[in-house]
Structure 1
Amino acid sequence: MRTRWARVLQLAVLLALAPGAGAWTPAPAPASVAIPAATPAPRAVWTWEAPTGAMLASPQVAAEALAFLRARRIGIVYLYADAFAGRNLIVQQPHRYRDFIRAAHANGIQVYALLGSWYLHTERYVLPRHQRKAVAMLRRVLDYNAAAAPGERFDGVNYDIEPHLLDAWEDATRPRLLRGFLDMTAAMMAAKRASGQALPIGPAMPFWWDGIPLEWRGARKPVSEHVADLTDYVALMDYRNHAEGRDSILSHAQDELAYADRVGKRVVIGLEFNPGGLAKLSFHGIGEAAFEVEAGKVEAALRTHPAFSGFAFHHYEGYRRFVGAPVPAAD
């Protein structure tokens, strides 16, 4: 079976071939917006199947992970919450999630349910015959929250379903697949509304969707804007390792941030730390100090954007290796 990193490599090629954005130029702050104090931007981390399973299986691994996250100022963990290796713990053993979330909250860390998986080939969920699976996946999280005590509930949801990973992705089929993504997203958000729950829900979204105009439900606009209209926030897969200039973190995020500012939504900047693909896609091999310099540039540039909601790191294991921390195994 192909590994999750194979999925990242495939995405890396797509990102590298995406149309290049112009150099980033800062927009002036609106007169009505006061520049806040330079407080650190929030940080989140995607945590996939295996490390999630280890944290849920072992209180010792969970405690070490939470200590690591706290020490690194990571205040949100996107924790995998669907089936893996023949089990679906959120249904079969929900107490494992309750225990972890309760411990995370005690450490000042929020937990978002992470949905979507190479293991399950959830990229197919954009196809009409599979869209019900996406809604069912979310409803399991909503049902879990409804049954859990307040301190044991997920704080939000992040879903990673990428139609461009389908073999059918090509120029002729791209609009249909993207409309399927939007239809799927609309159905998921309807399920959230029907539940009466207020937890924020948003996707991992490639930065280059802002360059694809699409007609959907009577409106023609960039796919990224349709997605922002539907969801509470987006985690923008903005995989570059320099903050400024052409083909940079800021240049690729500027349209999404400007639109989110206008419509009152949030944007989290996703960054890569794993090896593989083109060097510009990842901070791997650059060094932690150099990364913090680039992250600081992004924070300084975006401080006046109401939409800017910090960073998301891809992924827990890769980021640990990046900072020189071994990944502990479950007992």
Structure 2
Amino acid sequence: MRTLLRMCVLLCLLAMPAWATATSRAVWTWERDSYALLESRAAADAAFAFLRDQHVDTFYLYADAYDGRNLIAQQPQRYRDFIATAHARGFKVYALLGSAYLNTERYILPERRRDATAMLQRVLDYNAAAPEAARFDGVNLDIEPHLLDQWNDASREDLLRDLIEVSAQWMRMKRDSGQTLAIGLATPFWFDGIPVRWRGTTKPASEHLADCYDYLALMDYRDHADGRDGIVAHAAKEMDYAQRIGKTVVIGLELGPSEPKKVTFHHRSEADLRREMAATEAAYAQSKAFAGFALHHYRSYREWIDAQRPR
């Protein structure tokens, strides 16, 4: 019966017109691209048009320092203008926090805790001061401890414990601010295989993190939905746990060039992406935890689509 239901849902999704989708889709938009959207109305208009065509309804818009500037602190009106325009056009905007430029993977370390809290505080302060129409709808944190050199020695559990600890601190900051914006973390699917003892309880790192946040953005980087090494299987534990505790999971997919090939749709077509997303959605159609997709990332997405268009 479950297989039949999934097949029916999948056929319905594939039969829908290209412009129609009921599933939320977000796109990660990193430092350079986000600053371009904030500083150029033409770039912003092009992004709105492109993402509407691709059924994307949510920006994860970078909101921290880049290239010697910090626009959210120094020129917050740029964020107000962009977010108000995005809202008027039917988009949501989440503040994207985490940066290769800033090496924010180091922010989990106790000696960088001040930087970690300041990063989120700027967004909370911005929202508190902005008109309602210009406020962020949420926050997406992309802080990846596995990028640290220490990850390859015996300290993985310690680093994940640091991540869980700073995560709890970020969520306390949200509660103390009185704000209701959703805050979530981008996390690799394989965190569910690493047990961590925190505050007297040992369980997978993914479960501790789900306990902390409003949602998880699962970096479920595979180019196919089905099978033991597919998108659906790799999300199963996170989805089951999120449903049990009343949280949600956004499934992240990669579109940029990467190795091995199975981690990205870069070598596949737009039709392939639509089909595998439909299969994933069908698999989780009955799950209250499923909150749509996030696509990585804006520039790669545009280049990938452009490469498939007739010349």
**Equivalents in 2 of 1:303, 1:325: separation in Å?**
32
Closer, same or farther: CA 268–27 of 1 in aligned 2, 3 Å? farther
Aligned to 1:165: 147
> Structure 1 residue 274 and structure 2 residue 248: aligned?
no
Letter in 1 for 2:98: G
Distance 1:28 1:200 in 2: 35
Matched to 1:158, the amino acid is N
Q: Which of the numbers 42, 45, 51 marks the counterpart of 2:27?
A: 45
Q: Aligned AA for 1:300?
A: A
Pick from 184, 205, 224 the counterpart of residue 223 of structure 1: 205
Contact 1:44–1:74 (8 Å) recurs in 2 = yes
Partner of 1:96: 78
Amino acid of the structure 2 residue aligned with 1:180: D
Structure 1 contact 76–110 (Cα < 8 Å) conserved: yes
Match of 2:214 in 1: 232
SS in 2 for 1:158: strand
Q: Is the 8 A contact 2:254 2:297 kept in 1?
A: yes
Tell me if structure 2 keeps the 8 A contact 1:242–1:249: yes
Partner Cα distance (1:325, 1:150) in 2: 39
> 1:243 corresponds to which residue?
225
C-alpha deviation, 1:170, in angstroms: 2.5
**Once structures 1 and 2 are overlaid, which stretch shifts more, 78-87 or 131-140?**
131-140
In the TM superposition, residue 234 of structure 1 has moved relative to its aligned partner by 0.3
1:110 maps to what in 2?
92
Q: Is the 2:96–2:140 Cα contact (8 Å) retained in structure 1?
A: yes
Q: Deviations over 1:182-234 (max 9, x none)?
A: 11101111111110000000110000000011110111110000000000000
CA distance in 2, matches of 1:71, 1:102: 20
Deviation at 1:290, TM superposition (A): 1.3
Q: For the structure 1 residues 226 and 27, does the alpha-carbon distance in structure 2 shift closer, same or farther, using more than 3 Å as the test?
A: farther
Structure 1 or 2: larger helix share?
Answer: 2
1:177 paired residue number: 159
Matched, 1:314 2:296: yes
CA distance in 2, matches of 1:242, 1:225: 25
Query: What is the RMSD computed on CA atoms of the aligned residues?
Result: 1.6
Q: Contact 2:157–2:195 at 8 Å: present in 1 too? A: no
Q: Which residue of 1 aligns with 2:107?
A: 125
2:237 matches 1:287: no
- 8 A Cα contact 1:224 1:256, kept in partner: yes
- Indicate whether 1:70 and 2:70 are aligned: no
Cα distance in 2 between the residues matched to 1:106 and 1:253: 33
8 A Cα contact 2:27 2:60, kept in partner: yes
CA contact (8 A) 1:70 1:107 kept: no
Task: Give the fraction of aligned pairs with identical amino acids, expressed as a percent.
Answer: 57
1:297 aligns to what? 279
The 2-side partners of 1:182 and 1:27 are apart by: 37
Q: Which moved more, 1:255-264 or 1:288-297?
A: 288-297
Alpha-carbon distance between aligned partners in 2 of 1:28 and 1:88, rounded to the nearest angstrom = 52
Larger RCO (CA under 8 A, 6+ residues apart):
1
TM-score of the superposed pair, with normalisation by structure 2:
0.92
Pair 190,28 (structure 1): closer, same or farther in 2 beyond 3 Å: farther
Count of residue correspondences: 294
Name the structure 2 match of 1:261: 243
Deviation larger for 167-176 or 186-195: 167-176
Partner SS for 1:323: helix
Contact 2:95 2:138 in 1 (8 A): yes
CA distance in 2 between partners of 1:47 and 1:103 (Å): 17
- How far apart, in 2, do the equivalents of 1:52 and 1:210 lie? 31
Q: Does the CA contact (< 8 Å) of 2:127 and 2:136 recur in 1?
A: yes
CA distances 1:302-321 after superposition (whole Å, capped 9, x unpaired)? 11000000000000001111
- What's 2:306 paired with? 324
The answer for unaligned runs of 5 or more in structure 2 is 6-11, 14-20
User: How many Å separate the matches in 2 of 1:231 and 1:171?
Assistant: 28
CA distance in structure 2 between the aligned counterparts of 1:155 and 1:143, rounded to whole angstroms:
14
Match of 1:135 among 102, 117, 121: 117
Q: Which whole-Å CA distance do the structure 2 matches of 1:258 and 1:280 have between them? A: 24
Tell me how far apart the structure 2 counterparts of residues 305 and 171 of structure 1 sit (CA, whole Å). 37
Q: CA deviation at 1:175?
A: 0.9
User: Cα–Cα, structure 1 residues 67 and 49, in superposed 2: closer, same or farther, change >3 Å?
Assistant: same
